[in-house]
Amino acid sequence: MKKTLLFNRSSFEKQLDMNDYIEAVSYAHQLHAEGNIIETNLIHADAPNGEYHIKSGGIIGEKSYYGLKANGGFFNNQNRYNLPNILGIIYLSDAENAYPLAIFESSLISKMRTAAATAVAARYLQPKDPIHLGIIGYGNQAEAQIEALLCVCDVKSIKISGRNQQKLIEFAKKIKDELFIPVNTSSLENTCKNSNIIITCTPSTKPFVNHEWIQPGTFIGAIGADSPGKNELDPKIIQNSKIIGDIKNQIIKVGESQHAIKNNLILPKDIYGELGELITGKIKGRTNDKEIFVYDSTGTAIQDIACAAFIYKKLKNEPNIAGIDFFG
């Protein structure tokens, strides 16, 4: 009897590592650049205590899949209800006949695929060694970004910045205990001026990275801006950099690029390219030591679906995975 499988977090958390997510995300964006996807869409809705994102899309390959992710971002959840701040599910279907193959807890996949996409971009855009990594933020995504970048970059040191000094110190200690490279806390300005890879992963709606702090040759992963109004970077950074987006028609609406466009600093046509175009060689990556690149990350369903499909194919025959026959 055919069933829709139900994957809670513990059923796949230990079964994949970051390199698996990097492989799945790279494959998704390669298919995107080749035109082998089912149309992507994004719906954003504000709620009284948070926001919802619904992202849909599919991939067309040897086996084709379509699905959606419905996530709620409620950033007082932890304090108010002892719940994760981001909650949701991913729905995966067989794109040959629409059969619902599986439903997944979404936050782990979201965290890992977001970081994996930054790593894919860094493969092509990272500056020359030595790599000094600056992280602005101290949440789950900050930790995942470090893990992903260590898969593709030879990082010599890490500086971490954030507003809450206690959380910052605790996070830096946790990272320091896990790694064998120098890890220190620092001011925003010092972190930016002394890092040639900078990752911003906060829910900020006001820019906090000054364009004067960015050194020639820097790669910036702008992760936090993924909905209208979110903003981490001075728009002048976008104006003075080469911009690579995950999906161009998303970053001009909800990514860091939205603010540079609204301020008439750039036009949509000034976006250098998309992640899939780097992977397939349609555009060049870094060509000199002085170029500043920004990877404008907004997240896309093709990343979620490719990762969900990877998990489904690997674990679908495991006896401990529950299932339900919706049509019985």
Buried b (16+ CB within 10 A) or exposed e, 98-129: eebbbbbbbbbbbbbbbbbbbbbbbbbbbbee
Domain range 4-110+302-324, CATH architecture: 2-Layer Sandwich (3.30)
pLDDT (tens digit per residue) in 205-257: 999 999 999 999 999 999 999 989 999 999 999 999 999 999 999 999 999 99
DSSP single-letter state for residue 209: B
Arithmetic mean of pLDDT, 182-207:
97
Equal fold, 4-110+302-324 vs 125-299: no
pLDDT (tens digit per residue) in 44-89: 899 999 999 999 999 999 999 999 999 999 989 999 999 988 899 9
Which superfamily does 125-299 belong to? NAD(P)-binding Rossmann-like Domain (3.40.50.720)
Cis peptide before 130 (omega within 30 of 0): yes
SS3 content of the chain, % helix, strand, coil (to 5): 35, 25, 35
The confidence score (pLDDT) of residue 325 equals: 95
Arithmetic mean of pLDDT, 168-174:
97
Q: Is the pLDDT of residue 1 over 70?
A: no
In the chain, domain spans = 4-110+302-324, 125-299
pLDDT (tens digit per residue) in 95-123: 999 999 999 999 999 999 999 999 999 99
CA 51/CA 272 separation, integer angstroms: 30
75's tokens:
């950033």
Sign of the CA dihedral with 214 first, then 216, 220, and 226 last: positive
